[in-house]
Amino acid sequence: MSPVSEEPLLLAELKPGRPQQFDWKSSCETWSVAFSPDGSWFAWSQGHCIVKLIPWPLEEQFIPKGFEAKSRSSKNDTKGRGSPKEKTLDCGQIVWGLAFSPWSSPPSRKLWARHHPQVPDISCLILATGLNDGQIKIWEVQTGLLLLNLSGHQDVVRDLSFTPSGSLILVSASRDKTLRIWDLNKHGKQIQVLSGHLQWVYCCSISPDCSMLCSAAGEKSVFLWSMRSYTLIRKLEGHQSSVVSCDFSPDSALLVTASYDTNVIMWDPYTGERLRLLHHTQLDPPMDDSDVHISSLRSVCFSPEGLYLATVADDRLLRIWALELKTPIAFAPMTNGLCCTFFPHGGVIATGTRDGHVQFWTAPRVLSSLKHLCRKALRSFLTTYQVLALPIPKKMKEFLTYRTF
């Protein structure tokens, strides 16, 4: 695979409609953006307690020469052409976290049937929203109906993550310094509380193989938990300031963490070994000494094929990194960025900003090498220790365990 160095192009920008009279406590930040796993929906916390559910692709097609979607305002609902239609979810509180359930899982159909007995067995896509008052609201995407209200957290629910297996287990991370595990198949029953963090928990991420949970709080260390026993596996030490974002690679073999210390660290989650440090260097020198933390990181995420990373920092840049390189391969200017995520089928990155906007950027499209595809397939069910125990050459083990950087 040869890295692609084209700069990301702005494909579209969505802006919230002019707000009506809102309570003074409301804020306009887009703290979270998310695509549904099948790529058919996009969710956007546009501020003022509102979440927009938008069918994907956008009504305006992505034609770079015209950028027809760039000036689109979300206040005008998608014109009905049969289905599906854009929806507005009024959550009643500032929305901090968003998470879609896995697509078309049998348990989700049971949840639908339980709350909609008059409706035939239809696959049910769910959106979870984490709110300012500690509540979690569970919505049915196709209809925009509220299914469940989960209570337990004592402060802001900052992040949410569903198990990718389709079991409808939901993990929530909160400013009350805890993570909570919920089973939506049991009417949203709280099945575990994970304690140990001393600061607000900013982020939670479940490994694609559903074996591990990573949590990042306003601390220098990152916690790795077992999703089988809900016990702490290890703490990852290496950052010099608060860790605010984390994500697993698609094969669960790598973990990346982003910190206010301007660095992303790539870890082997099985051994706790630090594999790489990606430093965010300012392109322009600061104007004065007050800009010490201008490159503080806000968000990091893996691309769906596992060959790229995207990061958003306070220096007004979206960066794209190739897995085997120590410097970014591309930059895009963005102001007040807070979060980023890749489209599940690749080619697009969505970013959210402090002013309630969401932007869509071109992302590298690459045909994965056969070597990487084999590594990805093997690492999806083999731990690092299992790879090291295989009777294969040392160089092959190094490649399979991402030690060839």
391-403 mean pLDDT = 96
- Residues 20 and 75: their CA atoms lie apart, in Å, by 12
Q: Is the pLDDT of residue 195 over 90?
A: yes
Contact 324, 405 (CB under 8 A): yes
Q: Is the pLDDT of residue 126 over 90?
A: yes
Helices and strands, number each (H, E), in the chain: 4, 28
Higher per-residue confidence, 103 vs 80? 103
Q: Is the pLDDT of residue 200 over 70?
A: yes
Q: Which of these ranges, 30-34, 77-81, 102-106, has the smallest mean pLDDT?
A: 77-81
| Ranges 43-47, 70-74, 114-118, most confident | 43-47
Contact 176, 132 (CB under 8 A): no
pLDDT of residue 1: 47
pLDDT of residue 115: 54
**CA-angle at 194, arms to 193 and 195, nearest 5°:** 115
- Residues 140 and 156: their CA atoms lie apart, in Å, by 22
The encoded tokens of residue 314 equal 């306070």
Higher per-residue confidence, 147 vs 27? 147
Tokens 């030690």, residue located: 403
The encoded tokens of residue 304 equal 């769906």
- Sequence-separated (6 or more) residues with CB below 8 Å from residue 88: 50, 51, 52, 53, 77, 144
Q: Is the pLDDT of residue 226 over 50?
A: yes
Q: Is the pLDDT of residue 68 over 50?
A: no
pLDDT of residue 192: 95
- Residues 377 and 22: their CA atoms lie apart, in Å, by 50
The per-residue DSSP string of 274-316 comes to EEEEEE---SS--SSGGGTTTT-EEEEEE-TTSSEEEEEETTT
The encoded tokens of residue 355 equal 């002013």
247-269 mean pLDDT = 95
pLDDT of residue 108: 46
pLDDT of residue 233: 96
User: How do residues 361-383 score in pLDDT, each as one tens digit?
Assistant: 999 888 889 999 999 999 999 99
195-209 mean pLDDT = 94
The DSSP element (H or E) to which 114 belongs, if any, is helix 106-115
- Residues 304 and 32: their CA atoms lie apart, in Å, by 18
17-27 mean pLDDT = 53
**Helix/strand/coil (H, E, C) string of 48-97?**
CCEEEEEECCCCCCCCCCCCCCCCCECCCCCCCCCCCCCEEEECCCCEEE
